[in-house]
Amino acid sequence: MRRQLQHPARIVPAAFLALVVVGTVLMMLPVSRAEPGFAPFVTALFTATSAVCVTGLAVVDTGTYWSPFGLGMITVLTQIGGLGIMVMATLLGVLISQRLGLRGRLMAQTESRTLETADIGRMVLRIVAVSFVCEAVIAAVVGLRFWLGYDYSFGRAVWEGVFHSIQAFNNGGFALYPDSLMRFVGDDWICIPLVLGVMLGSIGFPVIFELAREWRTPARWSTHTRLTVWGSIVLGVFGFIFVLAFEWNNPSTFGPLSWGDKVLAAFTQDVMTRSGGFNSVDFGAMHQETLTISTALMFIGGGSGSTSGGIKLTTFFLLAFVILAEIRGEPDVVIGRRRIAETTQRQAMTVALLGVALVGTGTLALLAIDRDITLDRAIFEATSAFATVGLSTGITPTLPESGQVVLVILMYVGRVGTIAVGSAIALNTRQRLYRYPEERPIVG
């Protein structure tokens, strides 16, 4: 057992499972509840898993159900979960590059300057320091807005600024209000800092570190950074335009808002849909077209090595280039004058198909457990859990406990699964001394 846990691809699932267990026990204690008594096991398990996996889905009203101690535990679990994902994913990337052969290592040093192997300790300190600085800045802006703009007491303004800044940067999605950010839908000083925090947390530290050095010279960016940055821009523009267009006249969402507030709401929901989990409008009242686009964006997620979930931007756009090369009849997949290895292509395909299988299985389970929910709602909820986004159409609190356990499994597997599977595949590469005869089955 000890030898198995020493395998790098097993460290992340084991560590997060242990944290979920500890968090569940602490959330069950009477001190964690606002009312007397122990919290139900499934409620504590769901909340702890959602916090550790930085999802933000909730089965109770976070701000009123939990005591100050319980809210503090959610904050701590979210911080540990977010930092844990960023640190472990980055370190696994370093480990994979070190496990490569000489040729692969030289290619990694040339192409992926995002991973510094010289000083692991310094890298971890940089990740922690940047995280705390970003969270402090966001907390200061949001806290001042609460204090000066909403007449909150200074202590409450500081607490809410800190709580929501940690949730934003770690892409947690928990809010202290039953309507999330809906009451602040037109408030730039609340929405924009939280959106920027989500964006920073969702691109990943390998990209942040490289951009800090090479932001003036995009031509020198690694393929990973190019896919993450330009992919974020493409999906951001795509999601913003479609959400704004589909919801412009919806009387239950954007309809009553001014044009400026509509633009802000579309920008907020576009970013939050891909990872953040906050909502400034009612997702349960959105049109079917918007829910469909949102489901697709959630499934794709954000950057590798970040706090966001999904199959990741690099996986999605890498597969897009694979399809493009196949359509053109080109023998190699080339991105920015760099040929992508076939092993990387297979790894991306595996992660994407496993994601589809997990969402599909989760959707079927939800439909079987609660026959009153519709297919689109079940797909949305399953995708939100798998991609650790935390958005909901409102059905999560009403699901039977068995349905909530399904979402717990999806959150856990979706959070650690893509990292564990990707790392296991990369570290399990073997070379055979022989090859079988080639054959071409009929495709299509």
Which residues pair with residue 66 across a beta bridge?
33
**pLDDT tens readout for residues 45-59:** 999 999 999 999 999
Q: How many CA atoms lie within 13 A of 45 on its CB side?
A: 15
The answer as to whether 421 is a domain residue is yes
The answer as to whether 51 is a domain residue is yes
Q: What is the number of other CB atoms lying within 10 angstroms of the CB of residue 438? A: 5
Q: Contact, 157 vs 147, CB < 8 A?
A: yes
With the C-alpha atoms ordered 61, 387, 6, 95, is the resulting torsion angle positive or negative?
Answer: negative
- Nearest in space to 196 (alpha carbons), one of 260, 271, 265: 271
How far apart CA 200 and CA 307 sit, in angstroms, is 9
Element holding 338 (H helix, E strand): strand 338-339
Phi, psi angles (nearest 5°) of residue 334: -120, 130
The answer as to whether 437 is a domain residue is no
State the helix-helix crossing angle for 259-271 and 223-247, rounded to 10 degrees.
140
Pairing mode, strands 334-335 and 338-339:
antiparallel
The answer as to whether 439 is a domain residue is no
The answer as to whether 236 is a domain residue is yes
Q: Which residue has the tokens 């889905």?
A: 57
Global model pTM greater than 0.85: yes
pLDDT at 344: 85
From the centroid of its chain, how far is CA 307? 5
Q: Contact, 16 vs 430, CB < 8 A?
A: no
Q: Which residue has the tokens 């080639």?
A: 438
- Nearest in space to 398 (alpha carbons), one of 84, 123, 112, 59: 59
pLDDT at 37: 92
pLDDT at 422: 58
pLDDT at 15: 84
Q: Which residue has the tokens 């070379």?
A: 431
Q: Contact, 136 vs 158, CB < 8 A?
A: no
Beta-carbon contacts of 133 under 8 Å, excluding residues fewer than 6 positions away, are none
The answer as to whether 35 is a domain residue is yes
- Nearest in space to 391 (alpha carbons), one of 118, 181, 91: 181
Beta-carbon contacts of 5 under 8 Å, excluding residues fewer than 6 positions away, are 11, 14
Residue ranges of the chain whose pLDDT lies below 50 = 1-2, 4-6, 100-118
- How many domains does one find in the chain? 1
Q: How would you label 80-115 residue by residue, b for 16+ Cβ within 10 Å and e otherwise?
A: bbbbbbbbbbbbbbbbbbeeeeeeeeebbeeebbbb
pLDDT at 415: 86
How far apart CA 370 and CA 367 sit, in angstroms, is 5
The answer as to whether 438 is a domain residue is no
- Residue 135 sits in which domain range? 2-427
With the C-alpha atoms ordered 192, 198, 201, 207, is the resulting torsion angle positive or negative?
Answer: negative
